[in-house]
Amino acid sequence: MTEPGRPLIGVTTSTTIGGAWSRYSAGHKMDYLYREYTRSLVLAGGAPLAVPVVGERGVLAAVLDRLDGLLLSGGPDILPARYGQDPQPGLGEVDAELDEMELTLAGLALESRLPILGICRGLQVLAVAGGGSLIQDIRAQVPGCLRHDQPADKAVCTHRVRVEEPSRLREILGRGELWVNSGHHQAVETPPPGFKVAARAADGVIESLELPGERFVLGVQWHPEGTSAWDPPSLELFKAFIRACREVPA
């Protein structure tokens, strides 16, 4: 049992290649998760649970049945075929197995009305799972863009975003402008049906999407887990997510 009052939050993992079993093997695939995600959820009152890269839809559905909320974490680029595009110059590394898992998981979570928080790639997963599309490389496709892949520590805020009103994000943060960290080169191009833009950067790049209504379905392009230890708005985003997860019917 989880600690009373702490909802159980599934957090998606990414894949890396570990050491070889022997000189005859090429290495092991390992699922990993940056500690800032779990630390932020604990600070906000949640109980995090890492979700490994599993391809079976039935297994993912069984996992979701036990969760009170889902956090879609950051990671590599999404395969452009998933949103009906050919690869363009500037596309980075993709992981087809991770795409299959997270897009399936996001689709199931949307169907079951589970609270969802998407961060960086997680925002993009939400967009693609809902039928939207992505900008494959901001520098190549957005004239006059800001530098969104800042070479700075995750704890450093590097540019501002404008928070739309009305929006759930505006209600949570209580402000119309926000300084955020930035470590991405892709972004949402076309929001999926039913979603609305909740924040943009000065160059027009979408920085947040949400699903209007009582459900908590929200994605941000920045990394609030990297600043939650010192930045009240970052922690408040996690706290709002946890509050929504506590309201999920048993």
pLDDT digits (tens, 9 = 90+) for 119-135: 999 999 999 999 999 99
**Positions marked catalytic:** 120, 223, 225
> What is the reported pLDDT for 249?
61
User: What's the whole-number mean pLDDT along residues 53-80?
Assistant: 97
For residue 237, pLDDT over 90 is answered with yes
Instruction: State the DSSP code for 155.
Output: T
The confidence band for 25, taking pLDDT boundaries of 50, 70 and 90, is confident
Q: What pTM does this model have? A: 0.95
CATH homologous superfamily of 8-246 equals Class I glutamine amidotransferase (GATase) domain (3.40.50.880)
> What is the reported pLDDT for 246?
95
Residues 6+ apart with CB under 8 A from 164: 170, 196, 197, 198, 199, 200
The chain-wide mean pLDDT, for the chain, equals: 95
> How many Cβ atoms sit within 10 Å of the Cβ of residue 110?
19
Instruction: State the DSSP code for 164.
Output: P
- 8 Å CB contact between 206 and 142: no
- 8 Å CB contact between 193 and 156: no
| Ordered alpha helix ranges (H), 7-95 | 35-44, 57-65
- Going by DSSP bridges, is the β-strand pair 8-12/47-51 parallel, antiparallel, or unpaired? parallel
For residue 3, pLDDT over 70 is answered with no
Per-residue pLDDT tens for 84-126?
A: 999 999 999 999 999 999 999 999 999 999 999 999 999 999 9
SS3 158: coil
Can you tell me the distance from the alpha carbon of 141 to that of 154, in angstroms, rounded to the nearest whole number?
25
